[in-house]
Amino acid sequence: MTGSPVVLLTGFEPFGGAATNPSWAVASRVADTWAGPGVVHARRVPVTFADAPRAVLDAVAQTRPDAVVMLGLHGGARELRLERVAVNVADARIPDNAGAQPVDEPVVPGGPVGYWSTLPLRAALDAVRDTGVPVALSPSAGTYVCNATFYAVQDALGRGEAPRVSGFVHVPPVAGERVTDDDGVAADGTPGVPLDDLVRGVAAVVGAVVDELRS
């Protein structure tokens, strides 16, 4: 592509009684400290099945990015998780922030079983490994709001409503913080990963995406 790539980086508001959400802390810090190439915009989205996908797509309309990297919290993770697949099922063990708790419902009625990430996952994996931050490929994004948002955005991508490069990354808890993950599992924050490390890791993912866009 020509010009300067634009990347939209999204993170979620707090949920499950937590005071903060590392996904938004990381997204906002990466955007604030990004020195290029390209431009990174950060947007915070609600933890609700009904509103999160639309909030991301509204941000797409506002920022007109070349790529979307969505972040969410996985309380049981101990590394960045680069998600391969979004699945067409919403099944919540805990209510979302609007009180919705779907069970075995499709994210998009009549939609395909799943959508692949279109991020350069292998390049991103290598880039994060080079920083020393723990990282792994993950087979799917679960069945909570994170997955529903990932799926809905990929579905929109297929209909021309979103950039061709789009995907999801789960971040682990920040070291020392107690969180509740999207399965309702309490994590005591030990060991966790330092926030500065998560910022470096996600910046490496964004860098791999920018390199893909510029190639």
Active-site residue set: 83, 146, 170
Instruction: Name the region of 16 (left: φ>0; alpha: ψ -120 to 50; beta: rest).
Output: left
What is the C-alpha radius of gyration for the chain, rounded to an integer number of angstroms?
Answer: 16
Q: Which 3 state secondary structure label does DSSP give 106?
A: coil
Q: Backbone phi, then psi, for 68, in 5-degree steps?
A: -125, 125
- First-to-last alpha carbon distance for the chain, in angstroms, is 7
* Long-range CB contacts for residues 158-161, cutoff 8 Å, separation at least 24: 158/115, 161/57, 161/60
Q: Are strands 6-12 and 39-45 parallel, antiparallel or unpaired?
A: parallel
Tokens of 64: 């007109």
Query: Cα–Cα distance between 176 and 81 in angstroms, integer?
Result: 19
Query: Cα–Cα distance between 86 and 155 in angstroms, integer?
Result: 10
CB 169, CB 7: distance < 8 Å: no
